[in-house]
Protein backbone atom coordinates (compact mmCIF):
# COMPACT_ATOMS: atom_id res chain seq x y z
CA UNK A 1 0.00 0.00 0.00
CA UNK A 2 1.33 3.42 -0.97
CA UNK A 3 1.25 5.74 2.05
CA UNK A 4 1.29 9.56 1.62
CA UNK A 5 4.84 9.60 2.98
CA UNK A 6 6.11 7.05 0.47
CA UNK A 7 4.22 8.79 -2.32
CA UNK A 8 5.80 12.10 -1.37
CA UNK A 9 9.29 10.59 -1.36
CA UNK A 10 8.88 9.11 -4.83
CA UNK A 11 7.42 12.21 -6.46
CA UNK A 12 9.18 15.03 -4.61
CA UNK A 13 12.30 13.20 -3.41
CA UNK A 14 14.67 13.90 -6.34
CA UNK A 15 14.49 17.65 -5.67
CA UNK A 16 13.64 17.83 -1.97
CA UNK A 17 17.18 18.68 -0.82
CA UNK A 18 18.27 20.91 -3.70
CA UNK A 19 17.36 24.03 -1.65
CA UNK A 20 17.65 26.23 -4.75
CA UNK A 21 15.65 27.07 -7.87
CA UNK A 22 16.51 24.62 -10.63
CA UNK A 23 17.44 27.17 -13.29
CA UNK A 24 20.63 28.39 -14.96
CA UNK A 25 21.08 31.15 -12.38
CA UNK A 26 21.68 28.52 -9.72
CA UNK A 27 23.21 25.77 -11.84
CA UNK A 28 26.46 25.90 -9.83
CA UNK A 29 24.63 25.66 -6.49
CA UNK A 30 23.67 21.99 -6.75
CA UNK A 31 25.23 18.60 -7.36
CA UNK A 32 23.52 15.89 -9.37
CA UNK A 33 24.01 12.72 -7.31
CA UNK A 34 22.31 9.54 -8.49
CA UNK A 35 19.69 11.58 -10.42
CA UNK A 36 18.97 13.68 -7.34
CA UNK A 37 19.61 17.40 -7.03
CA UNK A 38 21.56 18.07 -3.84
CA UNK A 39 22.43 21.48 -2.41
CA UNK A 40 26.16 21.94 -2.98
CA UNK A 41 26.74 24.05 0.13
CA UNK A 42 24.85 21.68 2.43
CA UNK A 43 26.64 18.67 0.96
CA UNK A 44 30.05 20.19 1.68
CA UNK A 45 29.02 21.42 5.12
CA UNK A 46 27.60 18.08 6.26
CA UNK A 47 30.65 16.30 4.83
CA UNK A 48 32.83 18.53 7.00
CA UNK A 49 30.70 17.75 10.06
CA UNK A 50 30.88 14.00 9.52
CA UNK A 51 34.60 13.88 8.69
CA UNK A 52 35.56 16.07 11.66
CA UNK A 53 33.50 13.87 13.98
CA UNK A 54 35.29 10.80 12.62
CA UNK A 55 38.70 12.44 13.12
CA UNK A 56 37.81 13.50 16.66
CA UNK A 57 36.67 9.99 17.54
CA UNK A 58 39.80 8.53 15.96
CA UNK A 59 42.01 11.02 17.76
CA UNK A 60 40.37 10.16 21.07
CA UNK A 61 41.51 6.53 20.92
CA UNK A 62 43.78 5.56 23.86
CA UNK A 63 46.65 4.89 21.48
CA UNK A 64 46.52 8.44 20.06
CA UNK A 65 44.74 10.77 22.52
CA UNK A 66 45.28 13.70 20.14
CA UNK A 67 42.18 15.50 21.37
CA UNK A 68 43.37 15.36 25.00
CA UNK A 69 46.66 17.06 24.08
CA UNK A 70 44.91 20.31 23.14
CA UNK A 71 43.89 22.86 25.71
CA UNK A 72 40.69 24.89 25.39
CA UNK A 73 42.44 27.97 24.02
CA UNK A 74 44.06 25.91 21.26
CA UNK A 75 40.69 24.38 20.37
CA UNK A 76 39.20 27.88 20.20
CA UNK A 77 41.97 29.03 17.85
CA UNK A 78 41.38 25.99 15.64
CA UNK A 79 37.67 26.86 15.43
CA UNK A 80 38.46 30.47 14.47
CA UNK A 81 40.93 29.36 11.79
CA UNK A 82 38.37 26.93 10.35
CA UNK A 83 35.73 29.66 10.16
CA UNK A 84 38.12 32.14 8.54
CA UNK A 85 37.70 30.80 4.95
CA UNK A 86 33.95 31.40 5.25
CA UNK A 87 34.48 35.10 6.05
CA UNK A 88 37.03 35.38 3.24
CA UNK A 89 34.63 33.93 0.66
CA UNK A 90 31.75 36.01 2.02
CA UNK A 91 33.53 39.36 1.67
CA UNK A 92 36.60 38.97 -0.56
CA UNK A 93 37.01 35.85 -2.74
CA UNK A 94 34.01 34.66 -4.78
CA UNK A 95 35.59 31.53 -6.28
CA UNK A 96 33.17 28.57 -6.25
CA UNK A 97 35.76 25.96 -5.26
CA UNK A 98 36.99 28.20 -2.46
CA UNK A 99 33.39 28.48 -1.26
CA UNK A 100 33.11 24.68 -1.25
CA UNK A 101 36.22 24.48 0.90
CA UNK A 102 34.87 27.18 3.20
CA UNK A 103 31.57 25.36 3.68
CA UNK A 104 33.43 22.14 4.43
CA UNK A 105 35.55 23.87 7.07
CA UNK A 106 32.49 25.61 8.51
CA UNK A 107 30.79 22.26 8.99
CA UNK A 108 33.88 20.82 10.63
CA UNK A 109 34.18 23.80 12.97
CA UNK A 110 30.53 23.45 13.94
CA UNK A 111 31.08 19.85 15.05
CA UNK A 112 34.15 20.82 17.08
CA UNK A 113 32.30 23.72 18.73
CA UNK A 114 29.35 21.52 19.70
CA UNK A 115 31.60 18.80 21.15
CA UNK A 116 33.61 21.40 23.02
CA UNK A 117 30.41 22.92 24.40
CA UNK A 118 29.12 19.55 25.58
CA UNK A 119 32.27 18.22 27.23
CA UNK A 120 34.06 21.25 28.62
CA UNK A 121 33.49 21.86 32.34
CA UNK A 122 34.48 25.50 31.88
CA UNK A 123 31.37 27.72 31.96
CA UNK A 124 33.24 30.62 30.37
CA UNK A 125 34.11 28.48 27.35
CA UNK A 126 30.44 27.56 26.98
CA UNK A 127 29.49 31.26 27.10
CA UNK A 128 32.23 32.08 24.57
CA UNK A 129 30.88 29.52 22.13
CA UNK A 130 27.29 30.79 22.51
CA UNK A 131 28.22 34.48 22.18
CA UNK A 132 30.80 34.14 19.40
CA UNK A 133 30.40 31.05 17.30
CA UNK A 134 26.61 30.68 17.06
CA UNK A 135 25.78 34.35 16.14
CA UNK A 136 28.58 34.36 13.54
CA UNK A 137 27.37 31.06 12.10
CA UNK A 138 23.80 32.33 11.85
CA UNK A 139 24.92 35.65 10.35
CA UNK A 140 26.91 33.97 7.59
CA UNK A 141 24.02 31.65 6.73
CA UNK A 142 21.64 34.62 6.57
CA UNK A 143 24.09 36.53 4.38
CA UNK A 144 24.20 33.64 1.90
CA UNK A 145 20.42 33.44 1.86
CA UNK A 146 20.23 37.17 1.12
CA UNK A 147 22.62 36.78 -1.81
CA UNK A 148 20.39 34.04 -3.24
CA UNK A 149 17.40 36.36 -2.89
CA UNK A 150 19.29 39.06 -4.78
CA UNK A 151 19.92 36.66 -7.67
CA UNK A 152 16.17 36.00 -7.90
CA UNK A 153 15.38 39.73 -7.71
CA UNK A 154 17.58 40.39 -10.75
CA UNK A 155 15.91 37.64 -12.79
CA UNK A 156 13.32 38.78 -15.38
CA UNK A 157 11.07 35.93 -14.18
CA UNK A 158 11.06 37.16 -10.58
CA UNK A 159 7.43 38.28 -10.76
CA UNK A 160 6.36 34.80 -11.86
CA UNK A 161 7.62 32.91 -8.78
CA UNK A 162 6.74 30.10 -8.11
CA UNK A 163 5.81 29.59 -11.78
CA UNK A 164 9.24 30.61 -13.06
CA UNK A 165 11.62 28.17 -14.77
CA UNK A 166 13.47 27.59 -11.50
CA UNK A 167 10.45 26.56 -9.44
CA UNK A 168 8.09 25.14 -12.05
CA UNK A 169 9.29 21.58 -11.59
CA UNK A 170 8.54 21.82 -7.86
CA UNK A 171 5.04 23.08 -8.60
CA UNK A 172 4.42 20.35 -11.18
CA UNK A 173 5.48 17.59 -8.82
CA UNK A 174 3.45 19.03 -5.94
CA UNK A 175 0.38 18.99 -8.19
CA UNK A 176 1.06 15.37 -9.19
CA UNK A 177 1.48 14.44 -5.52
CA UNK A 178 -1.79 16.10 -4.47
CA UNK A 179 -3.70 14.68 -7.43
CA UNK A 180 -2.54 11.11 -6.91
CA UNK A 181 -3.01 11.44 -3.16
CA UNK A 182 -6.63 12.50 -3.64
CA UNK A 183 -7.42 9.80 -6.20
CA UNK A 184 -5.45 7.13 -4.32
CA UNK A 185 -2.67 4.89 -5.52
CA UNK A 186 0.19 5.84 -7.75
CA UNK A 187 0.44 4.88 -11.39
CA UNK A 188 3.58 6.64 -12.44
CA UNK A 189 5.48 8.61 -9.76
CA UNK A 190 7.72 10.19 -12.38
CA UNK A 191 5.05 11.20 -14.85
CA UNK A 192 6.50 14.61 -15.65
CA UNK A 193 7.35 15.35 -19.29
CA UNK A 194 10.72 13.75 -20.19
CA UNK A 195 12.36 17.11 -20.89
CA UNK A 196 11.79 18.17 -17.29
CA UNK A 197 13.04 15.01 -15.62
CA UNK A 198 16.74 15.96 -15.67
CA UNK A 199 16.53 19.75 -15.41
With a cut of 80, say whether residue 31 has pLDDT above it: yes
Task: Give the pLDDT confidence of 57-79 residue by residue, as tens digits.
Answer: 887 766 555 666 777 778 878 88
Q: How far apart are the first and last CA of the chain?
A: 30
Q: Which residue has better confidence, 27 or 173? A: 27
With a cut of 50, say whether residue 135 has pLDDT above it: yes
128 shares its domain with 171: no
Instruction: Quote helix, strand, coil % in the chain, to nearest 5.
Output: 70, 5, 25
Q: Is residue 119 part of a domain?
A: yes
Q: Is residue 197 part of a domain?
A: yes
Query: Cα separation of 149 and 187, whole Å?
Result: 37
Q: Is residue 187 part of a domain?
A: yes
Q: Is residue 38 part of a domain?
A: no
| Cβ atoms of 107 and 47 closer than 8 Å | yes
Query: Cα separation of 96 and 93, whole Å?
Result: 9
Considering only the C-alpha atoms of the chain, give the largest distance between any 2 of them, rounded to a whole number of Å.
62
Please report the pLDDT score of residue 47 as a whole number: 93
With a cut of 60, say whether residue 16 has pLDDT above it: no
104 shares its domain with 11: no
Task: Give the pLDDT confidence of 164-178 residue by residue, as tens digits.
Answer: 877 777 777 777 666
Report, as an integer, the average pLDDT of 75-98: 83
Please report the pLDDT score of residue 189 as a whole number: 46
50 shares its domain with 146: yes
Query: Cα separation of 121 and 128, whole Å?
Result: 13
Q: Which residues, 6 or more positions from 38, have their beta carbon under 8 angstroms from its beta carbon?
A: 17, 18, 30, 31, 32
2 shares its domain with 80: no
With a cut of 90, say whether residue 28 has pLDDT above it: no
| Cβ atoms of 70 and 119 closer than 8 Å | no
Query: Cα separation of 18 and 36, whole Å?
Result: 8
Q: Which residue has better confidence, 105 or 181? A: 105
Report, as an integer, the average pLDDT of 166-195: 62
Structural domain span for residue 50: 43-154
Q: What is the crossing angle of helices 72-91 and 96-119, to 10°?
A: 150
Query: Cα separation of 79 and 109, whole Å?
Result: 5
Please report the pLDDT score of residue 15 as a whole number: 55
145 shares its domain with 166: no
Report how many domains make up the chain. 2
Please report the pLDDT score of residue 4 as a whole number: 47
140 shares its domain with 47: yes
Please report the pLDDT score of residue 131 as a whole number: 84
Beta partners for residue 37, in sequence order: 32
Report, as an integer, the average pLDDT of 176-197: 54
**DSSP label at residue 131:** I
Q: Is residue 33 part of a domain?
A: no
Please report the pLDDT score of residue 191 as a whole number: 47
139 shares its domain with 166: no
Amino acid sequence: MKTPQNLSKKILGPYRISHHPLCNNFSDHTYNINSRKVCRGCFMQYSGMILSLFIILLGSLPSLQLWNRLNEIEVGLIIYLMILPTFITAFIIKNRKMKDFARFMLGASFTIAIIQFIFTPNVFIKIWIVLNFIPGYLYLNRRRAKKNEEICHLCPEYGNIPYCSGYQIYVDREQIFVSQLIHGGIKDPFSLPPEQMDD
